[in-house]
Amino acid sequence: MKFGKELQAQQVPEWQDAYMNYNFLKKLLKDVTHFKQQHKPAGLARRVSLYRAFSGLTCRGNEVSDTDDEEEEEKAILVSEIQENGCGGGGRSYQTMFLRCSDEGGEVELLFFKALDDELNKVVRFHKAKLDQILDEAQELSRQMDALIALRAKVDNPLSASTAADSNARRSGRVHMDVIQEVEMGGGEGAEDHVMINLAPDAPPESTSKLVLSYNKGELRRAEQVMSHAFIEFHKRLRLLKSYSFLNILAFSKIMKKYDKITSRSAGKDYMEMVERSDLGNSDKITKLMERVESTFIKHFSNGNRRKGMKTLRPTAVRERHRVSWFSGAFAGFSVALIFGIVTAILARNLLNSPGRTKYMNNIFPLYSFFGYIFLHMLLLSANIYFWRRYRVNYSFIFGFKRGVEIGYREVLLLSSALSALTLSGVLANLDMEMDPKTKDYGKFTELVPLGLLLVVVMVTFCPFNILYRPIRFFIIASAFRCVCAPLYKVTMEDNFLADQLTSQVQALRSLLFYGCYYGWGDFVRRSNSCAQSEVYKMFYFIVPVIPYWWRFAQVQLFLLRLILYSAPV
C-alpha cells in the first residue's frame, strides 16, 4: 500500500483536516520533477563527471575537509524558528529559507518549501492546542480522582476519613469542579463533608451539573464506573494524539526523502531535525502522562492487575475471523439449495394447480413475508456498513459503539444468511397442500412452524447471555425503547437512524400484526382466518403503519418547540 493511502487509512476522521496534506505536497514534487525533466540536457551529467579532477587513489589527508566542503556546498536550506507575539500568548512558527533560488527550477522548489512550512505550522499548532487541552483535563481528572478516593474513605470508614478530609481541606482547600452529584455527610456542616466528583459519562469534566449524592456503596460503585469510563476515554485521546504526532512526523520524513531523491540534495536531514525539535516531535509529555494514567487505573480500578487494566485501556480491535465468512457462505449455500428444493417441490407436485394454493397464499405467505422484509433490510444494512468502511465513515463513533464490540458487514451477512436458511426451511415444511379428508385439518406441527420461528427470533433478540452479539442486541433494544418513549429522551444519532429505518418497515409491522390475528383468532389448523372481516383488524391495519412515523415526529417535537421559542420575536 502506498504511504498516501496508508496515511488516510490511519487518520482520525474528526481530525482529518489537521493532518499534513501529503498528496498536495506530493503533487508539488511532481511539478519539480516535470520541470527538471524538461530543462535537463541529455548526457550532461556524464560529461561533467568525465571532466572532474582526479584526487588519487590513496588520498587520506584531505578526506574530512573535502567532505565538509562538499556538504557545505550542497546545503540547500536554512531552517529557523520564529517566536510570534500575539494576544493569545504568542507561539512558535517554523520557516525554511531556500538557498538555491538562482538554480533552474528554484522557484518551484521555493513554492514547495513554503507549502511544507505551512503544513508544519498547521500541524504543530493543532498538536499544541490538543496537548494543552489534554493537560487541563488531566488536572481536572486528578482533582476528581482525589475526590473519589476521599469518597471511598468516607464510605468504608466515615469516622477516620473525616480527619483526613480536614487535613486535605487545610492543605489544598476545597476543590471546585462541575459535578452531577454532591456527596453530603449527615451531621457535618464543614467543607470537608462535601465530596465533589464528576459523574457525567459522556461529557468532559467541565460540562456537568451538581446534584446530591448519598454515602452508600451503590453510589460509590456508580462513581467508580463513571471515573473508570473517564480514564478510558482520556487514555484513548492520549493514544490518538500520540498517533497523530507519529503519523505526521513519518509523513514529513517520507516527503523529504522524495524531495532529496528528486533534486539530489540533502535537505531532508536539516528539515527533520527542525521537526524533531518542535512540539510535534517532543512526545515525552504524552508518554509520561499515559504511564501515569495507566498506573493510576491499574491501581484503583483493576486491583493491581496490570493485564486486566491494560486490556481495558487498550482494547484490541475485532479480528476479521475466517469462520464468520465460512458460516456466511455455508448459510448462503443452504439458502440457495433450499430455493432450488422449493422450486423442485412446486413443479414436481404441481402445487401451482393445487386447490389449496389460495389458502396458502392468503394465510402462510404473509407469515413468512415478515422474515423476508427483515432479511432484505439486513442485507441493505450490510451494504451500508461495507461502503461506510470503504469510504472511511467512522460509524462506530457516530453511533456510540464501544471499541471492540462494533459489528461489521460480515457479521450482518452471517445473521441475515442464517435467518434466510431458517425461513426457507420453514417454507419448505409448509408446502404440504393436502389436508386430512376426514377432519379437513393440516398438520398441526407444520402449521406452527412460522410461529415457532418468530419465537426463536424474539428469544435470540432478548437473550441475556453473552452470545450472538449481545452488546449490539442490547444497544438496539435500548435505542428502540428510547424511540418508543420519545420525546421523553434526548434524541441521539442512533435513535434518529433507527426511527428512520422503522418507517421503512411498514409492511413488516403489518405482517407482525397478521401473526396475532392468525394465531390468536384464526383457525390455523385449517388455514383459515377472519382477519379481513374483523373491524378491529382493519382499524389496526391502518394505525400500525402510522406508529413509526409518530415516533419519528415525536423525536423532533422538542426541537421544533425550541425552534419556535427561540425564533419568536421579542
Residues 431 and 297 grouped into a single domain: no
The whole-angstrom separation of Cα 130 and Cα 286 is 11
Residues 484 and 364 grouped into a single domain: yes
Q: What type of residue sits at position 121? A: N
pLDDT the model gives residue 502: 93
Residues 299 and 152 grouped into a single domain: yes
Judge residue 109's burial from the number of C-beta atoms within 10 Å of its C-beta, 0-12 exposed, 13-18 middle, 19 or more buried.
buried
Full-prediction pTM beyond 0.75?
Answer: no
- Rg of the chain in Å (alpha carbons): 35
The structural domain count of the chain equals 2
278 inside domain: yes
Grid cell digits, residue 75: 546545503
Question: Any idea which residue has 394447480 for its cell?
Answer: 353
The whole-angstrom separation of Cα 424 and Cα 446 is 13
Instruction: Tell me the backbone φ, ψ of residue 479, rounded to 5 degrees.
Output: -65, -40
pLDDT the model gives residue 433: 57
249 CB-side CA count, 13 A: 20
Residues 278 and 410 grouped into a single domain: no
pLDDT the model gives residue 349: 83
The DSSP code for 206 is G
257 inside domain: yes
Residues 460 and 541 grouped into a single domain: yes
The separation between CA 77 and the C-alpha centre of its own chain, rounded to angstroms, equals 42
pLDDT the model gives residue 170: 44
Residues 390 and 477 grouped into a single domain: yes
Residues 311 and 346 grouped into a single domain: no
412 inside domain: yes
Residues 308 and 328 grouped into a single domain: no
Residues 143 and 16 grouped into a single domain: yes
Residues 306 and 409 grouped into a single domain: no
pLDDT the model gives residue 570: 41
28 inside domain: yes
Provide the phi-psi class of 552: left if phi over 0, else alpha when psi is between -120 and 50, else beta: alpha
The whole-angstrom separation of Cα 429 and Cα 460 is 22
Residues 397 and 284 grouped into a single domain: no
Number of H helices and number of E strands within the chain?
22, 5
pLDDT the model gives residue 434: 56
pLDDT the model gives residue 530: 79
162 inside domain: no
Handedness of CA 144, 145, 150, 156 (dihedral sign): positive
pLDDT the model gives residue 192: 37
SS (H, E, C) 57-77: CCCCCCHHHHHHHHHHHHCCE
71 inside domain: no
Handedness of CA 410, 411, 414, 420 (dihedral sign): negative
Q: Which of 297, 316, 335 is the last residue of a domain?
A: 316
Q: Which of 300, 316, 332 is the last residue of a domain?
A: 316
182 inside domain: no
Q: Which of 298, 316, 334 is the last residue of a domain?
A: 316
The whole-angstrom separation of Cα 432 and Cα 528 is 15
Provide the phi-psi class of 117: left if phi over 0, else alpha when psi is between -120 and 50, else beta: alpha
pLDDT the model gives residue 555: 87
For the chain (570 residues), the mean pLDDT of every run of 10, in chain order, is 82 88 90 77 50 50 47 66 61 80 74 91 93 92 89 72 49 37 34 40 38 61 88 91 93 92 85 88 88 92 88 73 90 95 88 80 88 95 93 82 81 95 90 56 74 94 91 93 87 90 92 89 75 87 93 83 64
Q: Is the bond into 487 cis (omega within 30 degrees of 0)?
A: yes
The whole-angstrom separation of Cα 293 and Cα 300 is 11
Full domain range(s) for residue 270: 1-36+76-157+209-316
Residues 443 and 505 grouped into a single domain: yes
Which residues are CB-contacts of 451 (< 8 A; sequence separation ≥ 6)? 367, 515, 519
Q: How many residues does the chain have?
A: 570
The whole-angstrom separation of Cα 119 and Cα 25 is 9
391 inside domain: yes
Which residues are CB-contacts of 549 (< 8 A; sequence separation ≥ 6)? 503
Grid cell digits, residue 156: 468504608
Grid cell digits, residue 148: 473519589
Beta partners for residue 195, in sequence order: 183
